[in-house]
Amino acid sequence: MIALISLFKEDRKFEKIHDIFGVIKGSEEPDRYVILGNHRDAWTYGAVDPNSGTASLLDIARRLGIMLQSGWKPRRSIILCSWDAEEFGMIGSTEWVEENLADLHSKAVAYLNVDCAVQGVGFFAGSTPQLDKLLVDITRQVKDPDVMGKMVHDTWNEMNGSISIERLARTDSDFAPFLHHAGIPSVDLYYGKEFPGYHTALDSYNWMEKHGDPLFLRHLAITEIWGLLALRLADDPVLPFDYQVYASQLQEHTNALSALMNNSQAVNLMNGFISDLSDAAIEVLKEAKVYSPPEDYESKLSFFPGIADAISRSGNQGADERDTAIQHEVWKVSRAIQRAARVLRGEFSRQNEQSNFSSVVTP
């Protein structure tokens, strides 16, 4: 007779977590922060998740230390962050963002995240749209770790037939609180996708050395891209943001929304403000040159979640009530786009802003 015994031990207790920071104070704009982050807690050995990213972060710290010893100082402050308790729901980064939300919301330039630096072949990146151009430019400066004589940009482009940059709608890494809570422009970088040993005992140094990155050249490439992004954002006299890309992305989303809505009056309003945002972005770029040195609504409208929710909830509503609810959400997005254009122009909001919107979108 064979007896099968299952054993389970549960141990619930409170533990302290510790976030660790390294700060290089900016020489000219010390109250503006370029933030680099990686978590250091792991489910098992964690060679990929997170230690590949931790190794890259430590190497950036080492290189910045050498530059500081040579007399260099960044224009803006650089903050290097090692997060704790990421695997329990981004607790370390989220608590820090929430505690410092007011400062970060107004003073953080960008958050640059690397979680699993290397988990396979091929460069992948996600970002908010205004950082797309900078990211692409940086990859033209870094040698490809797998193909001799080519740059990362070349193989990245060849892999998909064009440059493919993901949008950071997910919430599975430490960029989530920075982007979704504080609205800070963000980037996420990594080599390889769908690592089969993720969160298992196979995530080991042995796997990394034999299969993931035998010569550790992919680690080197990620470190260089990450570090160069930080240096450009910390040192460029005019921040290298491109809001024309942002306006173009919003236009793509609005076109998808327009195809799903019978009443396009409110969408036309959004189109007008997106055009205004694009014009404002062009004006900012010109000024910088002068003065510087599906099948369901939810999947199709993940970029406009408030509108998607309103459409989903409207199934049992009457036509008038449905249109009013949806147009209200469209109005809120339109207002945010209009305010973005005004921020780029340095304008204040007008007192009659709400009444102008209401008169246009109310049926």
Residue 295, CB half-sphere, CA atoms under 13 Å: how many? 0
* Structure tokens belonging to residue 186: 């963000």
Cα 256 to chain centroid, rounded = 22
* CA diameter of the chain: 86
Please give the helix or strand (H or E) that residue 34 lies within, else none.
strand 29-39
**Counting runs of H as helices and runs of E as strands, what totals does the chain give?**
14, 6
Q: What is the DSSP letter of 30?
A: E
Q: Which residues contact 342 (CB under 8 A, 6 or more apart)?
A: 280, 348, 349
Is 158 annotated in the active site? no
Among the options 10, 86, 287, 347, which is catalytic? Answer: 86
Q: Would you state the torsion angle of the CA atoms of residues 187, 72, 60, 75, taken in this order, to the nearest 10 degrees?
A: -20
Q: Which residues are 23's β-sheet partners?
A: 79
d(CA 74, CA 76): 5
DSSP element (H, E) containing 307? helix 305-313
Distance CA 324, CA 265 (A): 12
The CA distance from 5 to 2, in Å, is: 10
Strand, helix or coil at 248? helix
Catalytic residues: 86
